Amino acid sequence: MKHIKLFEAFIGERAADYKYLVDLLLNADLKYDVYYNNSWRVVNVGGTGYDKGDLVKQFNAKPGQSQKIKDNFYLAAQDPANTIKQIDKLAKGQIEIKQEGSLLKYSVK
């Protein structure tokens, strides 16, 4: 029983790192909307899905961070209302988020 409670506590603690997402989006030179594609499990930039090294290159991130990038976009998509609120608060109007159904599209102004 103790192990089940620990596992449930671990699952409940998984949340997107919104500060990381804001820094990632603002430091990248993006000309297109960015969103997480749940069907293919990739991050789309302007309709093209990126993964692994290509994803790191798109966001000017350090090598080996592709999974962290995908995880944060995935977790952010799980709670759209909170994500919109947190990104608006942290980005101070520099990032616009549009919700289209269950999809969150980020665009840097």
Residue 101 belongs to some domain of the structure: yes
50-93: per-residue pLDDT in tens?
A: 999 999 999 999 999 999 999 999 999 999 999 999 999 999 99
Q: Which domain holds residue 79?
A: 16-108
pTM: 0.85
The predicted pLDDT at position 14 comes to: 76
5-26: per-residue pLDDT in tens?
A: 555 455 556 789 999 999 999 9
Cβ neighbours for 14, distance < 8 A, ≥ 6 positions apart: 75
Residue 9 belongs to some domain of the structure: no
Domain count for the chain: 1
Residue 7 belongs to some domain of the structure: no
Q: Residue 47 above 70 pLDDT?
A: yes
Among 29, 35, 23, 27, residue whose Cα is nearest residue 74: 35
Q: Which residues of 32-59 are buried (b: 16+ CB within 10 A; e: fewer)?
A: ebbbbbeeeebbbbeeeebbeeebbebb
Residue 3 belongs to some domain of the structure: no
Q: Which residues of 79-93 are buried (b: 16+ CB within 10 A; e: fewer)?
A: eeeebbebbeeebee
Q: Residue 36 above 60 pLDDT?
A: yes
Residue 38 belongs to some domain of the structure: yes
